[in-house]
Structure 1
């Protein structure tokens, strides 16, 4: 009943409100007050260095503004000009190299080898014009006849030179110089023409088994045989020291007549050898299987593939086309 004896309106007893068990529990705990709490004080910073989060390795990088590095128009023009100069120098170098190779090929001829005929010394400004090698270019069964044709050409040149000397000797004993003048012409004309017109064709015919070369040789060499016969006969005032001229002169001047007689004998030997060699070449030609039809085909192929013929045909076609266009207008 004591609980009812207390006066509710009386002053409360000296009781400390902070003595409440819930309050004292909080105040006596080790937790620091809010105003004294430091988030950096009680924690160690040793693990921060080792526990650092690595930088992002994303392939997408943030855009970074770069300063403008475009060259100026003057710099661009200078670079372009330098490139053009370099390209021009390169082209000039290549053109010089091509010219050098072309000159080498021309000096070597169509065979691709260095020309060796005529055998001139290296100090001579005139270079050889042909390549000739019997053992390399001519088949073995044709080498003997081909060499004999070469020796016949040299023998003919020597005879023409002696004919010039004989006519000169005759000119000293007479008042006519026609034979001497014509003998000079025959030497200048027949020596190179005989090499180009019948010796080189027969050499090429044996080398390549060309039907066209054989036919060309037969036609020209037959004319050469006729010339040998005329020279050996020695018609007066034709520039030949043949038999007729030598017999006429020997009665007047025996020394000059003897010289002209020797030349007449040499012309006769040339005529006889030419007939024998013509028969030998013809017999070999029959064994090679050459024919006139093959010669026509070789001639047609050579003409149509010639650069000169192609250039002429192109020019004629363009001229005809221009004329037709002008007439239509």
Structure 2
């Protein structure tokens, strides 16, 4: 019968569901939720990236600060060692301090508090005072020699010699023993220490002769004592000169001992001075050219003498 051959409605619906079933659609719907979750999870990386950027920015700022600190330290060392940095003007010369009406400009820049390290400033100041004391002794010696010549029958040659000593030894003392010790402490130079010791030692012996007043060489102790029997006022003036020379001599000896103590305690040596001389003076092109010219001239003269002797 037709009615018995029709499938039941539930079976028909089930068949339609079976025929319309797509197993991949379920997987697609099931995977839709994680897809939305993954998409929603993309909001976290920007926060992590911003933290990383902040850390990098802080690191860059820290490195920039370190570079600024190093630059300041380099500038400070250049200022201490007086190394000419680019685009920095040199300090104007301020020594000797001459009056403005004199048409001569100062020759050197000198500032102990600026150029000399703190631990050596007192020593350099002491040496500078010794230099000033010696110049004062030379000035007093000129005055005493003048009075000695006029009122006590002193020799004219002693006055002329006193004037020559004042004009010659004042700048030479500054250039050949004070300036070297100044540059030695400023630049940490062993060679300048050697120059200071060598020159000041022999200058101390010379000052000893001036202090004694041997052979009317200066107004020292010997001719001062002899003048007391001729004129006491003139002898007292000469006594001031002898005392000034004595103080200058004592200051020179003290300066030698004090600087030598610092020199030995700082690790300087003759080998270091020799190396500085080789790297500094002998490496100069002008010195090399002069040495080469002198060698060539000596070789040419020797060759000419040999040729003349042969023929």
- TM superposition score category, shorter chain reference: 0.5 to 0.7
Q: Does 1:204 align with 2:170?
A: no
Residue of structure 2 in register with 1:177 after alignment: 156
The count of aligned residue pairs is 213
| 1:132-151 deviation per Cα after TM superposition (whole angstroms, max 9, x unaligned) | 11111101111001011111
User: Which has more radius of gyration?
Assistant: 1
- Shift in Å, 1:126: 1.2
Matches within 5 A, 1:206-225: 206-225=185-204
Distance in 1 (alpha carbons) for counterparts of 2:134 and 2:298: 49
Residue 311 (1) aligns with residue 311 (2): no
| Shift in Å, 1:301 | 1.3
Secondary structure of residue in 1 paired with 2:281:
helix
Distance (whole Å) between structure 2 residues aligned to residue 266 and residue 322 of structure 1: 53
Counterpart check, 1:132 vs 2:110: yes
Q: 2: distance between equivalents of 1:267 and 1:322?
A: 50
1:60-81 deviation line (CA, Å, top 9, x unaligned)? xxxxxxxxxxxxxxxxxxxxxx
Q: Say if 1:113 and 1:311 are closer, same or farther in 2 by CA, change over 3 A.
A: farther
TM-score (norm 2): 0.64
Change (3 A) 1:314 1:270: closer
Report the equivalent of 2:249.
271
Query: Partners in 1 of 2:154 and 2:211 — Cα distance?
Result: 23
**Aligned to 2:235, which of 257, 273, 288?**
257
In the other structure, the counterpart of 1:283 is 261
Once the 2 structures are TM-superposed, how far is the Cα of residue 220 of structure 1 from its aligned partner? 0.5
| Structure 1 segment 66-145 matched on structure 2, within 5 A | 112-145=90-123
Distance 2:156 2:103 in 1: 35
1:146 equivalent to 2:146? Answer no
Aligned-partner SS, 2:209: helix
The one of 192, 215, 229 equivalent to 1:236 is: 215
Q: Is the 8 A contact 2:213 2:223 kept in 1?
A: yes
* TM-score normalised by the chain length of structure 1: 0.60
Q: Is the 8 A contact 1:209 1:288 kept in 2?
A: no
The one-character-per-residue Cα deviations of 1:166-211 (angstroms, maximum 9, x if unpaired) are 0100111316312111111111111111000100000011111111
Q: 1:313 to 1:177 in 2, by over 3 A?
A: closer
Post-superposition offset of 1:214:
0.5
Q: 2-side partners of 1:280 and 1:230: how far apart? A: 23
Unaligned runs of 5+ in 1: 1-110
When residues 235 and 175 of structure 1 are mapped into structure 2, their CA distance, relative to the original with a 3 A threshold, is closer
Q: Normalized per residue, which structure has more helix? A: 2
Alpha carbons 1:198, 1:217 under 8 Å: kept: yes
Corresponding residue of 1:186:
165
Bigger relative CO (Cα 8 Å, ≥ 6 apart): 2
1:296 matched to 2:274:
yes
Give, in angstroms, the shift of residue 112 of structure 1. 2.9
Tell me the secondary structure at the aligned position of residue 95 of structure 2.
coil
Report the 3-state secondary structure (helix = DSSP H, G, I; strand = E; otherwise coil) of the residue aligned with 2:108.
coil
Question: How far is 1:225 from its partner?
Answer: 1.3
1:307, distance to aligned residue in structure 2 (A): 3.3
Query: 2:215 is paired with a residue of what secondary structure?
Result: coil
Counterpart Cα distance in 2 of 1:321 and 1:252: 63
List, as ranges, runs of 4+ consecutive aligned residues in structure 1 with deviation greater than 4 Å.
313-323
Q: CA deviation at 1:291?
A: 0.5
Q: What is the CA–CA distance in structure 2 between the aligned matches of 1:194 and 1:321, rounded to whole Å?
A: 38
